[in-house]
Amino acid sequence: MEIMVLAIVGYLIGSIPFGYIAGIMHGVDLRTVGSGSTGGTNVYRALGIRWAALSGMLDLAKGLVFIFLLDTLTPTQTTLQWFLLLAPIVGHIYPVWLNFKGGKGVSVAFGGLMYVLGVLFAVVSIAIWIVALKIIKIMSLVNLVLFALLPVYVYATTQSLAYTIASAFVALIIWWAHRENIARLRTGNEKKLAI
Q: How big is the CA angle at 133 (ends 129 and 136), to the nearest 5 degrees? A: 135
**Which is more confidently placed, 64 or 80?**
64
Query: Once rounded to an integer, what is the mean pLDDT over residues 122-128?
Result: 89
pLDDT value of position 87: 96
Instruction: Give the model's pLDDT for residue 76.
Output: 61
* pLDDT tens figures, 41-57: 889 888 888 998 999 99
Query: Coil, strand or helix: which one is 78?
Result: helix
- Give the span between the Cα atoms of 17 and 91, in whole angstroms: 9
Mean pLDDT of 5-18: 94
